[in-house]
Amino acid sequence: MELSFQMVMSQVMLGLNNGVFYAILSLGLAVIFGLLNIVNFAHGALYMLGAYVALLGFTSLGPLIGMPDFHLNYWAALIVAPLVVGAVGIVIEKTMLSRLYKFDHLYGLLLTFGLALIIQGVFTNFFNVSGDPYDAKPEILGGAVNLGFMMFPKYRLWVIVISLLVCFGTWFVIERTKLGSYLRAGTENPELVKAFGVNVPLMITLTYGYGVALAAFAGVLAAPIYSVSPVMGSEMIITVFAVVVIGGMGSIMGSIVTGLLLGMVEGFTKVVYAPASSTVIFLIMVLVLLVKPAGLFGRES
Amino acid sequence: MKKLCSKVALSVAVVALTSGMAGAAAKGVSDNVVKIGVLTDMSGVYSTLGGKGTQVGVEMAVKDFGGKVLGKPIQVIGADHQNKADIASAKAREWFDNEKVDMITGLLNSGCALAVQKLGGEKKKITMNTGAASTALTNDACTPYGIHYVYDTYALGKVTAEAVVPAGGKSWYFLTADYAFGHSLEANTAKFVTKLGGKILGSVRHPLSTADFSSYLLQAQASGAQIIGLANAGGDTTNAIKQAREFGIDKKGQKLVGLLIFDTDIKSLGLNVAQGMQFTSGFYWDRDKGTRDFAKRFYAIHKAMPTMDQAGAYSATMNYLKAIKAAGTDDPDAVMAKLKSMDISDFFAVNGKIRADGRMVHDMYLMEVKKPSESKGEWDLLKIVKTVPAADAFMPLSESTCSLVKK
Amino acid sequence: MNKILWKILVILGLAAPFIVYPVFMMKLLCFALFASAFNLLLGYAGLLSFGHAAFFGGASYVTGYLVKNSGLTPELGILGGTLFAALLGYLVGSLAIRRQGIYFAMVTLALAQIVYFIALKAPFTGGEDGLQGIPRGRLFGMLDLGQIYSIGGSPVALNLYYFIFALFCLGFWIIYRTINSPFGQVLKAIRENEPRAVSLGYKVERFKLMAFVISAALAGMAGSMKSLVFQLASLTDVSWHTSGEVVLMTLLGGVGTVLGPLVGAFTVVTLQSELSSVGSWITVIIGVTFVVCVLLFRRGFVGELGRLLKKSL
Q: How many domains does chain A have?
A: 1
Please say whether the beta carbons of C149 and B16 come within 8 A: yes
List CB contacts of B285: < 8 A, sequence separation 6 or more. B263, B291, B292, B294, B295, B298, B305, B306, B311, B379
B-chain CB neighbours of C13 within 8 Å are: 5
Give the Cα separation of B57 and B311 in Å (integer): 6
Q: DSSP letter at A148?
A: S
Q: How far is CA C26 from CA C13, C54, C164, C258, in A?
A: 10, 21, 7, 20
Backbone angles phi, psi at C60, to 5 degrees: -65, -35
Q: Is A228 helix (H, G, I), strand (E, B) or coil?
A: strand
pLDDT of residue B196: 94
Residue range B104-134, pLDDT digits in tens: 999 988 889 999 999 999 999 999 999 999 9
Average pLDDT, chain A: 87
Q: Of A115-124, B240-249, B338-347, C206-215, which range is least confident?
A: B240-249
pLDDT of residue A138: 87
| CB spacing of B115 vs C232 below 8 angstroms | yes
Structural domain of residue A286, as residue ranges?
5-291
Domain B32-151+287-357 and domain B154-281+366-388, same fold? Reply is yes
B-chain CB neighbours of A279 within 8 Å are: none
pLDDT of residue C277: 66
Q: Touching B: which chains, 3+ CB pairs < 8 A?
A: A, C
- Of residues B28 and A58, more confidence is placed in A58
C-chain CB neighbours of A299 within 8 Å are: none
pLDDT of residue C280: 67
Nearest-5° angle of CA A257, CA A260, CA A262?
105
The confidence band for C1, taking pLDDT boundaries of 50, 70 and 90, is low
Percent of chain C predicted with pLDDT > 70: 97
pLDDT at B21 exceeding the cut of 80? no
Query: How many residues would you count in chain B?
Result: 407
Please say whether the beta carbons of C179 and C259 come within 8 A: no
The confidence band for B365, taking pLDDT boundaries of 50, 70 and 90, is very high
Q: Which of A8, A28, A7 is nearest to A236 (CA)?
A: A28
| CB spacing of B97 vs C155 below 8 angstroms | yes
Q: Of B267-276, B331-340, C214-223, which range is least confident?
A: B267-276
| CB spacing of C294 vs A111 below 8 angstroms | yes
Query: Could you tell me if A291 lies within 8 Å of chain C, comparing CB atoms?
Result: no
Distance between alpha carbon C172 and the CA centroid of its chain, in Å? Answer: 10
Which of B45, B239, B247 is opposite residue A144, by nearest beta carbon?
A: B247
Q: Is the dihedral of CA C243, C248, C249, C250 positive or negative?
A: positive
Q: Which of C145, C106, B301 is nearest to A113 (CA)?
A: C106
- Of residues C79 and A248, more confidence is placed in C79
Residue B236 distance to chain A (closest CA, Å) = 8
pLDDT of residue C312: 66
User: Strands (DSSP E) along chain A, which ranges?
Assistant: 144-146, 151-153
Q: Is A133 helix (H, G, I), strand (E, B) or coil?
A: coil
| CB spacing of B20 vs C150 below 8 angstroms | yes
Give the Cα separation of A113 and C292 in Å (integer): 12
Most confident of the ranges A193-197, B94-98, B395-399, C217-221: C217-221
Residue A227 distance to chain B (closest CA, Å) = 7
pLDDT at A98 exceeding the cut of 60? yes
Give the Cα separation of B157 and B231 in Å (integer): 9
| CB spacing of C23 vs B93 below 8 angstroms | yes
Q: Of A79-83, A98-102, C216-220, which range is least confident?
A: A98-102
Predicted complex ipTM exceeds 0.90: no
Query: Could you tell me if C112 lies within 8 Å of chain A, comparing CB atoms?
Result: no
Q: Label each residue of chain B as H, E or C.
A: CHHHHHHHHHHHHHHHHHCCCCCCCCCCCHHHCEEEEEEECCCCCCCCCCHHHHHHHHHHHHHHHCCEECCEEEEEEEEECCCCHHHHHHHHHHHHHHHCCCEEEECCCHHHHHHHHHHHHHHCCEEEECCCCCHHHHCCCCCCCEEECCCCHHHHHHHHHHHHCCCCCCEEEEEEECCHHHHHHHHHHHHHHHHCCCEEEEEEEECCCCCCCHHHHHHHHHHCCCEEEEECCHHHHHHHHHHHHHCCCHHHCCEEEECCCCHHHHHHHCHHHHCCCEEEECCCCCCCHHHHHHHHHHHHHHCCCCCHHHHHHHHHHHHHHHHHHHHCCCCHHHHHHHHHHCEECCCCCCCEEECCCCEEECCEEEEEECCCCCCCCCCCCEEEEEEECHHHHCCCHHHCCCCCCCC
Q: Which of B128, B98, B125, B123 is nearest to B113 (CA)?
A: B128
Closest residue on chain C to A108 (Cα): C294
Residue range B30-70, pLDDT digits in tens: 888 999 999 998 877 788 888 899 999 999 999 999 999 99
Q: Of A64-68, A102-106, B320-324, C41-45, which range is least confident?
A: A64-68
A20 in any annotated domain: yes
Amino acid at C156: V
- Render the burial of C230-252: b for 16+ CB within 10 Å, e for the rest: bbbbbbbbbbbebbbbbbbbbbb
> What is the crossing angle of helices A178-188 and A200-222, to 10°?
110
pLDDT at B12 exceeding the cut of 60? no
| CB spacing of A109 vs C105 below 8 angstroms | yes
A296 in any annotated domain: no
Q: Which of C59, C124, C131 is nearest to C89 (CA)?
A: C59
Please say whether the beta carbons of B247 and B84 come within 8 A: no
Average pLDDT, chain C: 89
Query: Could you tell me if C99 lies within 8 Å of chain A, comparing CB atoms?
Result: yes
Mean pLDDT of C57-73: 94
Residue range A161-211, pLDDT digits in tens: 999 999 999 999 988 898 888 888 877 777 888 888 888 889 889 999 999
CATH of the domain spanning B154-281+366-388: 3.40.50.2300
| CB spacing of C21 vs B98 below 8 angstroms | yes
Partner residues linked to B35 by β-bridges? B75
Distance between alpha carbon A150 and the CA centroid of its chain, in Å? Answer: 27
Which of C95, C280, C287 is opposite residue A115, by nearest beta carbon?
A: C287
Query: Could you tell me if A232 lies within 8 Å of chain B, comparing CB atoms?
Result: yes
The confidence band for C279, taking pLDDT boundaries of 50, 70 and 90, is low
User: Up-side HSE of residue B137: CA atoms within 13 Å toward CB?
Assistant: 38
Q: DSSP letter at A299?
A: P
Give the Cα separation of B143 and A113 in Å (integer): 43
pLDDT at B315 exceeding the cut of 50? yes
Residue range C20-63, pLDDT digits in tens: 888 899 999 999 999 999 999 999 988 999 999 999 999 999 99
| CATH number assigned to the domain comprising residue A29 | 1.10.3470
| CB spacing of B5 vs C236 below 8 angstroms | no
Residue A245 distance to chain B (closest CA, Å) = 24
Q: How buried is residue C272: exposed, middle or buried, by Cβ count under 10 Å (0-12/13-18/19+)?
A: middle
Q: DSSP letter at A98?
A: G
Amino acid at B332: P
- Of residues A132 and C139, more confidence is placed in C139
Q: Of A3-17, B65-79, B88-102, B212-226, which range is least confident?
A: A3-17
Give the Cα separation of C102 and A98 in Å (integer): 18
Please say whether the beta carbons of B125 and B102 come within 8 A: yes
A144 in any annotated domain: yes
Please say whether the beta carbons of C168 and C31 come within 8 A: no
A131 in any annotated domain: yes
- B146-148 and B126-129 strand pairing: parallel
Q: Which of A121, A158, A165 is nearest to A142 (CA)?
A: A158
| CB spacing of C127 vs B24 below 8 angstroms | no
A-chain CB neighbours of B247 within 8 Å are: 144, 151, 153
Q: Is A20 helix (H, G, I), strand (E, B) or coil?
A: helix
CATH of the domain spanning B32-151+287-357: 3.40.50.2300
Residue B13 distance to chain C (closest CA, Å) = 7
Is residue A300 within a helix (H) or strand (E), and if so which, with residue range? none
